[in-house]
């Protein structure tokens, strides 16, 4: 007879390691402790229905997938599916930069060099990456994108109004950067270990 604890454990371990997540990171995504994740992976308990739904959302699989045995081919198919998300998020990013280069080239041919096109393209492309990372990527990756977005917006404003020499504008970036870092420190408190983890 098939042991459900064994199946769920193997699937969680595979999906977590394939997504380069630690037990602590997965626990935080689920609002559980890393000890709870460890118990599931050591076959000491099975996640309840609520956690299985959250796991399916985190790893972009169905609950049925988590409760079923899989061949090596099926496991690799899930891996490819997740990689495709990364590729899909890069298509609009590079599409936007291609458009910026195209516009710059046309204006250059017409006798105008508008380098600010690239300055404006940077915050727009970073915003795209933030959206796609929020949908498909790891939440913690967005801390870098949002930080770059803050500084690129400040740089765009500064370079647009260069004649005013608003260098003090970058001082605004310091508390803004602190705000970004603090916002990523806020997270749900992990549930206590015990009966609720089974």
- Domain regions of the chain by residue span: 4-70, 83-165
Q: Between 23-30 and 34-41, two packed helices, what is the crossing angle to 10 degrees?
A: 110
For residue 181, the Cα-to-chain-centroid distance in whole angstroms is: 15
pLDDT for position 187: 61
The answer on pLDDT for 111 being more than 60 is yes
pLDDT for position 77: 63
Query: 81-95, pLDDT tens digit by residue?
Result: 555 667 778 888 999
Stretch 44-73: mean pLDDT, rounded? Answer: 85
Name the strand (E) or helix (H) holding 106. Answer: helix 72-109
pLDDT for position 137: 60
**Residue scoring higher pLDDT (137 or 194):** 137
CA distance 142 to 180: 10
CA distance 36 to 47: 9
Beta strands in the chain (DSSP E): none
3-state SS class at 194:
coil
The correct answer on CATH 3.30.10.20 for the domain covering 4-70 is no
The answer on pLDDT for 133 being more than 50 is yes
Nearest partner of 131 among 187, 123, 170, 157, judged by Cα: 123
**Residue 23 near residue 12 (C-beta atoms within 8 A):** no
CA distance 119 to 155: 8
**Torsion sign, CA atoms 157, 162, 165, 170:** positive
């Amino acid at each position: 007879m098939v042991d459900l604890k064994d199946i769920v454990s193997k699937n969680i371990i595979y999906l977590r390691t394939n997504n380069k997540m630690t037990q602590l990171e997965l626990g935080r995504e689920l609002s559980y402790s890393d000890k709870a994740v460890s118990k599931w992976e050591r076959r000491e308990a099975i996640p309840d229905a609520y956690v299985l739904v959250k796991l399916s959302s985190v790893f972009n699989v169905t609950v049925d997938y988590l409760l079923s045995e899989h061949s090596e081919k099926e496991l690799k198919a899930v891996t490819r599916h997740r990689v495709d998300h990364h590729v899909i998020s890069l298509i609009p990013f590079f599409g936007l930069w291609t458009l910026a280069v195209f516009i710059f080239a046309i204006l250059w041919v017409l006798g105008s060099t508008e380098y600010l096109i690239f300055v404006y393209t940077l915050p727009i492309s970073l915003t795209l990456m933030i959206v796609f990372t929020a949908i498909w990527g790891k939440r913690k990756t967005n801390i870098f994108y949002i930080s770059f977005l803050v500084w690129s917006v400040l740089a765009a404003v500064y370079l647009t109004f260069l004649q005013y020499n608003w260098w003090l504008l970058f001082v605004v970036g310091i508390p803004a950067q602190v705000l970004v870092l603090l916002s990523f420190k806020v997270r749900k408190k992990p549930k206590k270990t015990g009966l609720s983890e089974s």
